[in-house]
Structure 1
Amino acid sequence: MNAQSRTLVLAMASVGIGGLAVGSHASLSPRFEAFGKSLSKLTASIQIDTQKVASTLKGKMTELKELKDKASMVTQKIGTLAAEGKLPTSDEGIKVLQDLVDQLKQTNEALKKVQEDVEGILGWIEGQNENLPIMQADIAALKKIKMSFYTQFQWQDTDSEDGASKRNDGFQLRRFRVGATYTHDDRTSAKATFDVSTGSNRTAAELKDAFVTYAINPTITEVGTEVQFGQQPLPLGFELERSSSEREMPERALYNRRLFAGERDRGVMVRHGLGAGWQAQIGMWNGLTVTDPQASGFRDIDNKVAFTVGAKKEADNHEFGISALFGNRPSFTADNGVEVTQADRALVFIHGSYIGLFTEALTARAEVMFGKDRDPLGGIADPKFDQETDVLGWQAQLTYNLNPTNQLTVRYDSYDPDTDDVTGSNNRIDTWGVSYAHWFNPAFKLSLTYESPSEQGTEKRDNVWTLRSQFKL
């Protein structure tokens, strides 16, 4: 081996790729080994499988393979020549050897660039991994909050000659509900909802729900034991607690609208699961719903409370239950001078529903309410009832799903605010109605409803058409 050949061999070794044993290409150079370790670290560090990272890694791995093959080939050639003592001595042979060394230099430079690229990707992923706990915490916090929203815009037309009834004719924003439920953990949650289309002109905001639920015995299969306190729907029958966005008819039955205006009261309720789909509840309340027309200021006069108790069974295709309320309506002097006496409230609800009656497309619902109360019609200005009466209300409803996007509903409801008075002008009202609904998509539906009330005694003209659109998140 002459001096030039030895110099080239030394130069080859100094490149760094010559870490391969001369005459052997079975092991990677230290730089290839470092790259392999970096690649392993890179693969282990990836927690977010993005298309960009996957594409970049694929390119780098291809480039690595090409560099390995090239370096192995060049090194093998040089190693073979050196092992056989055939390193060239001529100028032409030395030039060939020089070209091989130059190729190794270029390969080394390319390998350095790949290593820098990998280190850059590693740095990016490390940055993502540092931010990942923060991102996960932010996402977890966002998942704790569930927003709710629906709006109902309608055209209504009645043949009533009563000015108060005609006031609802035309276009109006019937409901615009916004709310949120915050779940702190598997035991504690809070819900708040508002309607920003209330009042005579549908421009006022009103608090609907504001309550906290604490699960004493949490469960994900059935109701465990939970306490709920704040402003919330009264747990009576099936209609008061059912959302207006889910109801098939535009409004609740008349007896619920008159005796439980607003559906909600303020108090505390304990619900306990009994197993096999059964649950029981007991609650203590102010006694009158928050928008009862005779509720104004009564808490300053009388601190008596009301109680509810009930039990129901829920299954996949049916539900039935019984519930009751016991309380009172305080006495007061009306604006027109009438003395209104205190009335005991003792009302019992029995309800049931069945999905798939005779056919999977048919759903039946029914509810009956009976007991004692004093109808608050007329409010505190001109009350129509000044003493306790026996009341009776009931409804029956059939809903038929014509297909997945079209639904037909028929309902008959009756309300008698004084079953002992068979001749009075403010007596039983029977109403039948039919409604057709079409869903354009799961969030948007349009319904057309016709309702015809029939009054015992003096008959009124108050049939009503309602064309309503609803959008719900």
Structure 2
Amino acid sequence: MKITKRILLIVLCLTLSSYLFAQKDSINDNEQLQHRVENLERIVNRLNNIKLSGYFQPQFISAQKDANIRIGGPNENPDKSFNRVGIRRGRIKTTYEEGLTSVVFQIDITERGIAPRDAYLKIKDPWFKTSFIQAGLFFRPFGHEIGYSSSRRESPERSRVITTLFPGERDLGASIQFRAKDGSPLDIFSLETALVAGNGISMESDNRRDFIGHLTASPKIGKNASLTVGTSYYLGSVYQGTQNVYRMQDGGFVLNSNPQNLGRFARREYLGFDLQTNWTNSFGGTQLRAEYIFGKQPGSATGTVSPQSSVRPSHDTYLRNFTGAYIFLIQDIGKLPFEALLKYDWYDPNTKVSGNNIGLNGTNRADVKYSTVGFGAIWHAYKNVELQAYYEIIRNETSANLLGFENDLKDNAFTLTLQFRY
């Protein structure tokens, strides 16, 4: 009897021990599962902070024989019109945002290669979240068209004055934007300032920085209309690569040759005004944008494009006063998925010479004024797909004293762009 009781007691103890161990294993499994779920939640939350966007623009251009186009190679037969197909832009943009901080990287992938477009850190103010500081590679805060995305711009390219003064649109540096909190009487104003390297998407090559400032005001003018006006200022410099500096005087360039000129910096200074407005009418939505820029631009004997190289210039310096502007009208066609476009822009690289005086006294093709009339239409085929057709009539100043510019160049161009935005 005693033996039987002992056997039952042993069995009962073993059963109870097994049950307790099973309970412990179950608790451990639950803890491990909970830990895994928490890790997955953290990973998902991080992924939610990442935004991937971009756009793709295959393009076809048919142009007259003298046209300078942005895709494909040069005209293989200079006496005939030509056409090209290519990828104008293939953008991939990644944004990581956490709290008040965000980091942006954007690259451009085309048949010409892979190139950086944006790479900057942005930190918002902790109080109203309407102001920020940013550092890296970003749009220069001058005027409107520079920072207006190519995925939304209604013309295939920016205006000639913009692409000449600000090639690549972006620069290396740091910027600060100030804007009052929403609801404040001052919230219609926005001020952005920046210190940049001054040579675009290239390594910095000197110890100097260029200053940029852009002040805008957006007063409330009604429920069916909006208005923004702005003024911009650029103050920078360009390295003088030789002792020879040319200035305009009495319709021609006058040489100042002084060994002390080598290594000094020529003044680069612009002042601009911009306007954007839109309103709704019986024809649909109407948009009007305009910008006017004037100032001083150091350049070379053959061009006025701003520096965009990490190598300091080694050519003689030519100092010119310039003006440039554009005006752009965009009209919705009622409720149809179409927009009509009309644009006029001009760029005069040297306001102190014109007409038949170009080609004399050291002036040349770099001093020729260009004006462009562009018109076209956009079909918004689907939510993220659109087709743009655009024709440009380009006119240049002519001079009997400048070889190749006795008559207007044959450089009109038709551009067909298909875009997918995601």
Normalised by the length of structure 1, the TM-score is 0.64
Aligned letter for 2:354?
A: V
8 Å CA contact 2:304–2:349 kept in 1: the answer is no
Q: Indicate the SS of the match to 1:317.
A: strand
Question: 1:426-460, CA deviations, whole angstroms, 9 ceiling, x for partnerless residues?
Answer: 32111010121101112111111000110011310
8 Å CA contact 2:67–2:412 kept in 1: the answer is no
Evaluate the alpha carbon distance shift between residue 160 and residue 349 of structure 1 in structure 2; reply closer, same or farther with a 3 A threshold.
same
For 1:320 and 1:287, how far apart are their aligned partners in 2? Answer: 25
Evaluate the alpha carbon distance shift between residue 290 and residue 273 of structure 1 in structure 2; reply closer, same or farther with a 3 A threshold.
same
Residue 408, structure 1, aligned to residue 353, structure 2:
no
Give 1:408 deviation, angstroms. 0.9
For 1:138 and 1:204, how far apart are their aligned partners in 2? Answer: 33
8 Å CA contact 1:146–1:182 kept in 2: the answer is yes
Q: Indicate the SS of the match to 2:200.
A: coil
Evaluate the alpha carbon distance shift between residue 329 and residue 404 of structure 1 in structure 2; reply closer, same or farther with a 3 A threshold.
farther
Give 1:253 deviation, angstroms. 0.1
Which of 207, 210, 217 does residue 306 from structure 1 map onto? 210
For 1:290 and 1:456, how far apart are their aligned partners in 2? Answer: 31
For 1:401 and 1:212, how far apart are their aligned partners in 2? Answer: 37
The answer to which structure has the higher strand fraction is 2
Aligned letter for 2:117?
A: K
Evaluate the alpha carbon distance shift between residue 257 and residue 131 of structure 1 in structure 2; reply closer, same or farther with a 3 A threshold.
same
Q: Indicate the SS of the match to 2:125.
A: strand
Report the counterpart of residue 169 of structure 1 in structure 2.
Answer: 83
Q: Indicate the SS of the match to 2:44.
A: helix
> Would you say how many aligned residue pairs link Structure 1 and Structure 2?
332
8 Å CA contact 1:248–1:435 kept in 2: the answer is no
8 Å CA contact 2:297–2:304 kept in 1: the answer is no
Report the counterpart of residue 166 of structure 2 in structure 1.
Answer: 260
For 1:177 and 1:162, how far apart are their aligned partners in 2? Answer: 26
8 Å CA contact 1:357–1:364 kept in 2: the answer is no
Give 1:332 deviation, angstroms. 1.9
**Percent of pairs with identical residues:** 22
Give 1:290 deviation, angstroms. 2.1
Evaluate the alpha carbon distance shift between residue 317 and residue 404 of structure 1 in structure 2; reply closer, same or farther with a 3 A threshold.
farther
For 1:218 and 1:416, how far apart are their aligned partners in 2? Answer: 45
The answer to which structure has the higher helix fraction is 1
Larger Rg, first or second structure (1 or 2): 1
Give 1:357 deviation, angstroms. 6.4
Evaluate the alpha carbon distance shift between residue 428 and residue 180 of structure 1 in structure 2; reply closer, same or farther with a 3 A threshold.
same
For 2:351 and 2:128, how far apart are their aligned partners in 1? Answer: 44
Give 1:317 deviation, angstroms. 2.2
Give 1:404 deviation, angstroms. 4.7
8 Å CA contact 1:190–1:213 kept in 2: the answer is yes
Q: Using the TM superposition, name which of 407-416 and 366-375 deviates more.
A: 366-375
Q: Indicate the SS of the match to 2:368.
A: coil
RMSD of aligned C-alpha atoms? 3.1
Residue 388, structure 1, aligned to residue 319, structure 2:
yes
Aligned letter for 1:287?
A: G
Question: 1:80-112, CA deviations, whole angstroms, 9 ceiling, x for partnerless residues?
Answer: xxxxxxxxxxxxxxxxxxxxxxxxxxxxxxxxx
Residue 326, structure 1, aligned to residue 215, structure 2:
no
Which of 290, 295, 316 does residue 371 from structure 1 map onto? 295
For 2:315 and 2:418, how far apart are their aligned partners in 1? Answer: 35
Evaluate the alpha carbon distance shift between residue 306 and residue 258 of structure 1 in structure 2; reply closer, same or farther with a 3 A threshold.
same
Report the counterpart of residue 137 of structure 1 in structure 2.
Answer: 42
Aligned letter for 1:304?
A: R
Question: 1:32-55, CA deviations, whole angstroms, 9 ceiling, x for partnerless residues?
Answer: xxxxxxxxxxxxxxxxxxxxxxxx
Normalised by the length of structure 2, the TM-score is 0.71
For 2:341 and 2:74, how far apart are their aligned partners in 1? Answer: 24
Report the counterpart of residue 421 of structure 1 in structure 2.
Answer: 353
Which of 402, 409, 419 does residue 460 from structure 1 map onto? 409
Evaluate the alpha carbon distance shift between residue 375 and residue 446 of structure 1 in structure 2; reply closer, same or farther with a 3 A threshold.
farther
8 Å CA contact 1:150–1:245 kept in 2: the answer is yes
Question: 1:338-372, CA deviations, whole angstroms, 9 ceiling, x for partnerless residues?
Answer: 99984311101211111116565111000111111
8 Å CA contact 1:446–1:467 kept in 2: the answer is yes
8 Å CA contact 1:217–1:226 kept in 2: the answer is no
Evaluate the alpha carbon distance shift between residue 165 and residue 434 of structure 1 in structure 2; reply closer, same or farther with a 3 A threshold.
farther
For 1:397 and 1:383, how far apart are their aligned partners in 2? Answer: 38
Question: 1:6-29, CA deviations, whole angstroms, 9 ceiling, x for partnerless residues?
Answer: xxxxxxxxxxxxxxxxxxxxxxxx
Give 1:229 deviation, angstroms. 0.5
Question: 1:133-172, CA deviations, whole angstroms, 9 ceiling, x for partnerless residues?
Answer: 4443233211111111211001101112468753793111
1:201-216 correspondence runs (5 A): 202-216=111-125
